[in-house]
């Protein structure tokens, strides 16, 4: 059963939620209890309806929940969970975003010192690469049979089985193996490399750097596999052409290293390095002015709102109730329309918000450090936060479904998992 749950969870993360997790995705017991109680209250008098069996509808329901969760987290990162914290988040800058991009992750209290530093990137963290033999596009020398080989990734071992038929060429087999490995989504990317009309299978790890002193991220073998062996030696799949290596960089002249190109500095900056620095030309990283930070925060809020509207609108032609979802969120923006307009934000006909950057900067500059001028935006953010929580709690409310019967008011049984029907959708065809 644990293997089934692991498969379901990995499928969920890759198919439905390929988004970065944040600290707002962890919850206390009291918060989980509050969610459970809200579900019970919501379902107390909810009608019974037929289960949804359409694959497209199931994907839509999970996607609605995930987009609502992402909107919630985006507002939370701007300080929307605290009474007076909205838009007080500092913004960081990098003098060369082609070398390093940076985000400030410190608290308001820790930002008083205005930290800054110089970053010089010497090498980037690299993945492990296995490159097999370059073979001609001729019939393989392997006899027709069912073959298998194993790929060990971290503490997991995956077996791949495939057939070789009479007349199959080396290139056909490599393309088949490439699809097989990529579809498994085990953290290894496979592709067929070509050189002088000869072909080789290249395997590259998603992970970079050296972890726990281990010299490899994955190993390929068929020494103890269940089917016929021989393909690993025939194609050279176990040859490590490029070992994984750590990133090397200097912070204020002090040498540092990281197994990833994405790391934090002093629990204040989230850094993504992208290229090696030119010689003796470090990137300077620091905090933006209050006016620039406020402008960035507002643009992030508008961008998150637009991303949600855009995602919901993508289902308008296939899911009839998605129109209601778009209408409810755009109605929230319409409620504050005149005030948003005065600050440089305009509500478009499709429900999205456009921003006049110049007017927004003027408003932010005129306010100084007094955020009372943005009280309307705080109310707008609170309304979005409340609505996103509602959608996340019950995404099935925006699914077209057939009602079977209404409950007898005051004489019914609580069904706390009705709104969580989407969670069962992820287990379809697994159990």
Per-residue pLDDT of the chain (431 residues; tens, 9 = 90+): 444 455 555 555 555 544 556 666 666 788 778 877 777 777 777 777 777 777 788 888 888 888 998 898 888 887 766 656 666 778 889 999 999 999 888 776 554 456 889 999 999 999 999 999 999 999 999 999 999 999 999 888 999 999 999 999 999 999 999 999 999 989 999 999 999 999 999 999 999 998 777 778 999 999 999 999 999 999 999 999 999 999 999 999 999 999 999 999 988 899 999 999 998 889 999 988 877 888 888 888 899 999 999 999 999 999 989 999 999 999 999 998 888 888 888 989 999 999 888 888 887 777 666 666 678 888 888 899 999 988 988 888 888 887 777 777 666 666 655 666 655 555 554 44
In a domain, 430, yes or no: no
- Using CA atoms, how far apart are residues 346 and 325, in angstroms rounded to an integer? 20
Structurally, the chain folds into a number of domains equal to 3
**DSSP per residue, 123-154:** E--BEEEEE---EESSB-SSPSEEEEEEEEET
The answer on 260 and 202 residing in a single domain is: no
- Using CA atoms, how far apart are residues 384 and 75, in angstroms rounded to an integer? 8
Q: Domain containing 159: what range?
A: 127-242
Q: Which residues contact 176 (CB under 8 A, 6 or more apart)?
A: 162
In a domain, 179, yes or no: yes
The answer on 152 and 214 residing in a single domain is: yes
- Residue 284 C-alpha from the chain's centroid: 28
CA-based nearest residue to 111, from 85, 95, 94, 88: 88
- Residue 414 C-alpha from the chain's centroid: 34
Neighbours of 400 (CB within 10 A): 13
Is the CB of residue 182 less than 8 Å from the CB of residue 192? Answer: no
The answer on 49 and 68 residing in a single domain is: yes
Coil vs helix vs strand at 63: helix
DSSP 16: I
In a domain, 431, yes or no: no
- Using CA atoms, how far apart are residues 91 and 288, in angstroms rounded to an integer? 6
> Widest CA span of the chain, in angstroms?
78
In a domain, 256, yes or no: yes
The answer on 131 and 121 residing in a single domain is: no
């Amino acid at each position: 059963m644990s293997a089934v749950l692991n498969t379901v969870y990995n499928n969920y993360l890759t198919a439905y939620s390929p988004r970065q997790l944040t600290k707002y995705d962890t919850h206390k017991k009291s918060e989980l209890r509050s969610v459970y109680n809200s579900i019970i209250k919501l379902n107390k008098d909810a009608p019974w309806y037929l289960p949804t069996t359409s694959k497209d509808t199931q994907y839509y329901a999970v996607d609605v929940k995930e987009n609502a969760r992402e909107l919630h987290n985006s507002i939370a990162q701007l300080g929307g969970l605290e009474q007076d914290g909205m838009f007080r988040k500092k913004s960081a800058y990098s003098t060369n975003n082609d070398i390093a991009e940076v985000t400030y992750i410190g608290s308001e209290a820790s930002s008083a010192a205005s930290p800054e530093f110089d970053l010089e990137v010497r090498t980037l963290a690299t993945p492990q690469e296995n490159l097999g033999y370059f073979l001609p596009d001729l019939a393989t020398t392997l006899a027709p049979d069912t073959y298998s080989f194993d790929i060990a990734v971290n503490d997991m071992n995956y077996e791949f089985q495939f057939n070789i038929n009479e007349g199959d060429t080396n290139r056909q087999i490599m393309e088949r193996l490439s699809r097989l490995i990529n579809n498994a989504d085990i953290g290894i990317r496979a592709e067929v490399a070509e050189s002088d009309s000869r072909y080789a299978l290249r395997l590259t790890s998603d992970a970079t750097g050296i972890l726990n002193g281990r010299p490899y991220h994955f190993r390929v073998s068929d020494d103890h596999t269940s089917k016929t062996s021989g393909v690993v030696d025939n194609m050279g799949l176990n040859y490590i052409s490029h070992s994984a290596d750590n990133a090397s960089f200097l912070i204020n002249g002090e040498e540092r290293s990281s197994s990833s190109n994405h790391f934090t500095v002093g629990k204040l900056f989230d850094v993504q390095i992208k290229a090696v620095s030119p010689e003796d030309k470090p990137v300077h990283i620091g905090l933006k002015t209050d006016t620039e930070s406020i402008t960035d925060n507002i643009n992030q809020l508008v961008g998150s709102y637009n991303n949600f509207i855009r995602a919901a609108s993508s289902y308008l032609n296939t899911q009839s109730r998605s129109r209601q979802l778009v209408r409810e969120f755009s109605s929230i923006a319409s409620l504050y329309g005149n005030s948003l307009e005065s600050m440089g934000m305009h509500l478009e006909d499709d429900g999205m918000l456009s921003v006049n950057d110049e007017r927004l900067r003027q408003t932010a500059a005129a306010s100084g450090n007094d955020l009372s001028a943005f009280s309307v935006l705080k109310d707008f953010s609170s309304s979005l936060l409340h609505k996103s929580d509602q959608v996340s709690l019950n995404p099935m409310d925006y699914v077209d479904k057939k009602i079977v019967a209404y409950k007898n008011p005051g004489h019914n049984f609580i069904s706390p998992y009705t709104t969580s029907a989407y969670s069962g959708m992820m287990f379809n065809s697994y159990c």
